[in-house]
Structure 1
Amino acid sequence: MSDDAPYQMPPTDTSRFSLVMWAQFGFFLLIAYEMNSNFEGTMGAEEFVFLGAVLVTGLLQLLRVNNRRMIGMLLMIVGPTISWGVLGGEMEMVIFGLIFFILPFFGMVIFIPALGFDEHGMELSRERRKLILVLVMSLCMVFFTVMENMALATTDDGTYEVDDFDATTTYDIDDQNVNLAKASIGLAITGVLIFLATTLGGMALGGLRPWHGVAIAASAAWLDGYNWSDFGMDPLWLSCLWALMITVMYVLTACEFFEKGEEATMESE
């Protein structure tokens, strides 16, 4: 297919670029699956709008449609805003969803691969892409890990409450679950500090590479998956799929951007 084509067929090889693209698409499939499961039999018009926006946005990225990132973010922001705000009449929920879910989560999924891979053709200098990529990845790794684990890590009454859209579920937990939540936060923060030190700080930490820090932070997702399945919040297979998508997208993107950059620097010298 020519470079001027409005879309490109999905890659089928096993390069970093291809694996990250499929992991990116996997994010959209998983969020659609979870939403369908949570609203099974009770999905209204606003939920259908959001579900459709998720799937279309994922396909736009996978097929590399022209202007896919801008179209995708508009779908994820304008679509849910209209569906929740106008149809549901709940503007507070709209604002909360935009700030704490749609913008950070879908912005991360859409833009991290684009920043890390030259194939996406972002019109930014490499230094600017590096700064944005490091900041976005670091903030997201810490933000989502802390947000998902802070309440669990600080509970002391043997119960953990989770708000699932229109209901609250209470789980019985033990000290192991609390300690694993604390360990997850520790892994994320440690990995991000290594990532920042080796990228923006220019520090040599005993041979550690930027992607090593990302891998340490991403391991928190695997720990969370086991922990949540242990007390029954999520099935293990679903948590492992989430952890796999996170690991592939974050680690391979960091590996591609920073290893490739160093290779280019060595060749120029």
Structure 2
Amino acid sequence: MSDEAMYKIPTIDLSVPSLLALAQLGVFAAFTYWGSVDASGVEYLFPVITGMAGLALFLSVPHARMIATFGLPAAMCVLSVVLDDPEMIFWAVFMLIMVGGIAYLPAMALNDEALGLDEEAMKNRLGPLWVLFALFTMFMFGTIDGALEGEFLDEDSDGTEIVTELDSDQQTIAQAGLAIGLIGVVVFLMTGVMGMEVGPMRPWHGGALASGALFLTMYLWMSTDSANFEPIPDIGMILAISGILTLVPCAAYEGSES
């Protein structure tokens, strides 16, 4: 891409870079859908921004990562004032972590020259960010609450909290999911960040295990007949997040052609 180019049409195939780009787009597509449901007036600002951010990242628009990472939380802070909803500022902090991981992890894994970092510096930053992102997603999607508290917390379009109780069998599944996810984080830390040999395990195996935790959580959301569970966007989001969790270590430590 030349310095003057404002965007780049990505190649769509089964390569790791292409799948990572599609995973990024999928996450923002889900955010856009969720934000547009029951929205009115100024509330449409959120889905418009998420949609534009997703397309900007997908088309490799210059500075898209920085704009998406900081622009979306900033917009949420503005909306919190306009809508008189202080809680939105709290969620803006979480969006900073979420969007930052989605925007920067693939670029770091692919050693994007635009970041201005050498390969060693890139991996030194990628490891902690991946761990933070993995733990955050397990918290965000209810893996941790389901395992420790035996319940899922959610909100409806009016901001009313919805508590979904898990029975003992379901909580056991949630605990198994959390254990699998934490094992995945440990595997990634040992094989990727610390460079240790752990049998045949590779860093991307840690990503696969963390993804497995999210899929178990999704199964529980489905089995509890949660009113807020919507199969297409929710499953799409889990698939996209799992793609990032698994493909980022694969690209960073095995090569983007693997």
Q: Tell me, yes or no, if structure 1 residue 93 matches structure 2 residue 93.
A: no
TM-score scaled by length of structure 2: 0.89
Percent sequence identity over matched residues? 27
* Equivalent residues, number: 253
Residue 43 of structure 1 is matched in structure 2 by: 40
Residue 189 of structure 1 is matched in structure 2 by: 182
Aligned partner (choices 141, 154, 157) of residue 162 of structure 1: 154
- Pairing 1:52-201 to 2, within 5 Å after superposition: 52-85=48-81, 87-90=82-85, 92-99=86-93, 101-119=94-112, 121-147=114-140, 148-155=142-149, 160-164=152-156, 166-201=159-194
- Pairing 1:24-35 to 2, within 5 Å after superposition: 24-35=24-35
Aligned partner (choices 215, 220, 228) of residue 221 of structure 2: 228
Distance of 2:3 and 2:110 partners within structure 1: 17
Q: Tell me, yes or no, if structure 1 residue 11 matches structure 2 residue 11.
A: yes
Is the partner of 2:255 in helix, strand or coil? helix
Structure 2 gap ranges (5+)? none
Question: Contact (CA 8 Å) 1:138, 1:192: kept in 2 or not?
Answer: yes
RMSD over aligned Cα atoms: 2.2
Tell me by how many angstroms 1:161 deviates: 4.6
With over 3 angstroms needed to count, the CA separation of the structure-2 counterparts of 1:173 and 1:134, relative to structure 1, is same
CA deviation string 1:198-250 (max 9, x = no partner) = 12222110121111111111111111111110001224444432221122222
Q: Structure 2 counterpart of 1:162, which letter?
A: D
Is the partner of 1:169 in helix, strand or coil? strand
Is the partner of 1:134 in helix, strand or coil? helix
Distance of 2:201 and 2:4 partners within structure 1: 41
Moved more, 170-179 or 103-112: 170-179
CA deviation string 1:92-127 (max 9, x = no partner) = 32431122x211111111111111113463211211
Structure 1 gap ranges (5+)? 264-269
Tell me by how many angstroms 1:172 deviates: 4.7
TM-score scaled by length of structure 1: 0.85
Q: Structure 1 counterpart of 2:210, which letter?
A: A
Question: Contact (CA 8 Å) 1:162, 1:170: kept in 2 or not?
Answer: yes
Residue 209 of structure 2 is matched in structure 1 by: 216
Is the partner of 1:118 in helix, strand or coil? coil
Distance of 1:13 and 1:152 partners within structure 2: 36
With over 3 angstroms needed to count, the CA separation of the structure-2 counterparts of 1:12 and 1:149, relative to structure 1, is closer
Aligned partner (choices 220, 235, 244) of residue 239 of structure 2: 244
